[in-house]
Amino acid sequence: MKVHLIILLFFSLCIWTQDAAYLPSIYGMQGLRISCDTELQLKYVRNYEGSLGFDFIKIPRVLQKPIEVLVVAEKLQLFKNNLIANGINYEVFLEDVGAHIDKQFALEYDERIVNPKNEILKTFPLYNEITLYLESLQNSHSDILQTFTIGKSFENRDIIGVKISSGGSGKPALFIDAGIHAREWIAPTTAIYAIKQLAENASNSYIFDNIDIYIVPCLNPDGYEFTHRNSANRMWRKTRSTKKFSPCVGVDANRNFDFEWMTVGASSNPCSETYAGVTAFSEPETSALRDFLLSKNNTIKVYITFHSYGNFLLHPWGYTEELPTNEPTLRCVADKAENKLSQKRGTHYEIGSSTNVLYAAAGGSDDWAMGVAGIELAYTMELPSQRYGFAAPRSEIIPVGQETFEAIKIFAKYVEGVK
Ligand code: ARG
Ligand code: ZN
């Protein structure tokens, strides 16, 4: 009896300490914008990539553009001192991430109260609201829209998607996913906006006369739900998988795809924000996506994945600075999409390969889609959320949805042209 009690106590202690250890606190965390004047300085800052307590938002390769990083309170002073010692300039663009997030979070949940009918896209929906909404669309638009699941998440949630099709088989297809990173809430809503438009607006039906469209709006439902639970979790990025004897939770799903896995910009430390997993496709969410894309027998011509934030329209490769051979086509289609999108309200995107524009990071879904699945064009769209960072206010849901839909139509046109 006594032994049992001790064992029980031991395990609850383990679980407790695990819980306490893995969640970097957002309180006192700051957002720093760093400008380097020399390659040496850039190299110095890059050394922090993947380090605990450092969450890099952007690390451009060129000196002229600033680096953005979120740094936990405990590491701030030393880091700032080191920057100064190396003659590197920085400014604080977010004084206290926690305070900022708390404010946004409270607002978000106030908005829920004024949304009694649970209208989709009035607020950032919970995962079960997304699922219910997509199922209701299937009922009301059964002629063109069907839901499907690509598999289950680690915590056993169905990863739901919709197929929008006017029928027939073997048509070329456009595939879109969103929410691979938990905290990037504007990504799932943008995908849902597109689904809503396609389902409800008959005037869009020309889009799918000749093509099929698949949209999986929330690829990492466990992480997404976790970020909704309370404001301290709002900045969670990874999946929510646990492993025996591992001190930390979750894998960066966008470092977990099996193409040049773990070669650059990914960490083997389970506690890092960019932890690539024990193996490629260790996560049920990424392997479900892999299986789904492969099951479509090369009908998918364009792959788009929504992230936030940054106003970047990125194409492969993310693992090397070399460009794919079809870079001219990637750029040309992206240019058209950006041009159309920007006409809506003047939002501009920077276009280029992930490595050259944002940072090098291997194991991303876009690289895998083009490099392994044989999909012609793959893009990562870092949606805008202006100065709000990840915590875009709900007032951005519709405008970002609308403008992004313009780009989606261009990608759909490209798919249609593939014969
Ligand atoms: N912000 C995204 C990430 O960190 C960018 C991914 C771009 N694609 C890539 N293969 N690196 O995951
Ligand atoms: Zn992301």
pLDDT tens profile 196-247? 999 998 788 888 889 999 999 999 999 999 999 999 999 999 999 999 988 8
Q: Is 192 in the pocket of ligand 1 (CB under 6 A)?
A: no
- The verdict on ipTM greater than 0.90 is yes
pLDDT of residue 245: 87
Please identify, by atom number, the ligand 1 atom nearest to the C-alpha of residue 254: 12
- Our answer on whether the CB atom of 256 is closer than 6 Å to any ligand 1 atom is no
| Calpha distance 176→51 (Å, rounded) | 31
pLDDT tens-digit readout, 97-121: 999 899 888 887 777 776 767 789 9
Answer whether 220 contacts ligand 1 (Cβ < 6 A). Answer: no
CA-proximal residue: ligand 1, atom 9 (nearest): 318
Q: For 312-341, what is each residue's pLDDT tens digit?
A: 999 999 999 999 999 999 999 999 999 999
Ligand 1 center to 130 CA (angstroms): 25
Average pLDDT over residues 136-160: 97
Q: Which helix (H) or strand (E) holds 173?
A: strand 173-178
Long-range pairs for 147-152 at CB < 8 Å and ≥24 separation? 150/216, 150/288, 150/289, 150/291, 150/292, 151/284, 151/285, 151/287, 151/288, 151/291, 151/292, 152/284, 152/288
In this structure, the number of other CB atoms found within 10 A of the CB of residue 77 comes to: 10
C-beta separation of 173 from 212 below 8 A: yes
**What is the reported pTM?**
0.93
Strand pairing partners for 175?
214, 303
CA distance 406 to 342: 9
CA–centroid distance, residue 142 to ligand 1 (Å): 35
Ligand that lies nearest to the alpha carbon of residue 255, given by its number in the listed order: 1
What six digits make up the tokens of 402? 């609308």
Active site residue 382: yes
